[in-house]
């Protein structure tokens, strides 16, 4: 965490929502910085560290989806991102996951649910206390105790959702984890198969030499996914 209190960047052009949500988060023990646009959020990111971002999808100018994609590409590849959206159809939710979000929350929302989601995301972003043996994934090594995936030349940056998914699979190598189980790991309310598949696809891009021909993260038709470490 960046300091004694978890630091949340709250990005929404709705000033009333920002004020209400910001006050509630502060009362619940968070440090909150507010921004009314992606541009303003970028200014904050240049000078401050954040533990998590709450980001509205529908904003004038650069949308939350576009901003998420930019953050994942270069600026903040691993910071957990919770999208707020008034459009919560499966297609909208999947678009958020494809952009790189870790979770979503439909508007209007109960602020207590927002706090619960944030706390769950922050817990998932922390490495486990007990270290397990590192797993070899080709030329890369995943150290679950450190929550790190590294190649011989660099550390591979994972989003919070990608890390949670890989840790769950790595804890039970060669076993099949159902989509229901993975939905629970990712904190999803219900099982949206496409949403799980999107996160698996994103993870494969990080661990597979050729994501189209997986060597390590395999689909078991009708059952789920399994991780098979190896050289």
Collect all residues with Cβ–Cβ distance below 8 Å to 47 and sequence separation of at least 6. Answer: none
Q: In the chain, where are the structural domains located? A: 7-125, 135-227
105-133 pLDDT tens trace: 989 999 999 999 999 888 887 765 544 67
Reported CATH class of domain 7-125: alpha beta
Check residues 89 and 38 and name the one with the higher pLDDT. Answer: 38
pTM above 0.75, yes or no: no
Q: Do 145 and 130 contact (CB within 8 A), yes or no?
A: yes
Res 132: pLDDT: 65
In angstroms, the CA 186 to CA 162 distance is 9
Q: Which two three-digit tokens encode residue 199?
A: 């996160």
CATH number of the 135-227 domain: 1.10.10.10
**Strand, helix or coil for residue 174:** coil
What is the model's pLDDT at position 2?
46
Q: For residues 81-90, give the mean pLDDT.
A: 86
Burial of 231 (0-12, 13-18, 19+ CB in 10 A): exposed
């Amino acid at each position: 965490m960046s300091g004694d209190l978890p630091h949340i960047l709250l990005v929404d052009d709705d000033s009333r929502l920002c004020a209400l949500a910001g006050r509630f988060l502060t009362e619940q023990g968070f440090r909150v910085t507010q921004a009314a646009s992606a541009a303003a959020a970028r200014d904050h990111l240049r000078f401050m560290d954040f533990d998590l971002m709450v980001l509205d999808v529908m904003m004038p100018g650069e949308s939350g989806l576009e901003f998420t994609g930019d953050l994942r590409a270069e600026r903040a590849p691993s910071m957990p991102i919770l999208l707020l959206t008034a459009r919560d159809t499966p297609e909208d939710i999947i678009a958020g996951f494809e952009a790189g979000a870790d979770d979503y929350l439909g508007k209007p929302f109960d602020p207590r649910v927002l706090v619960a989601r944030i706390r769950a995301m922050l817990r998932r972003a922390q490495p486990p206390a007990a270290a397990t043996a590192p797993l070899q994934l080709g030329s890369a090594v995943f150290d679950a105790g450190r929550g790190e995936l590294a190649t011989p030349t660099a550390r591979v940056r994972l989003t919070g959702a990608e890390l949670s998914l890989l840790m769950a699979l790595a804890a039970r190598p060669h076993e099949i984890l159902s989509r229901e189980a993975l939905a629970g790991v990712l904190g999803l309310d219900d099982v949206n198969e496409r949403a799980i598949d999107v996160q698996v696809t994103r993870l494969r891009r990080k661990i597979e030499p050729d994501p189209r021909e997986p060597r390590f993260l395999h689909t078991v038709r009708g059952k789920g996914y399994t991780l098979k470490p190896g050289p």
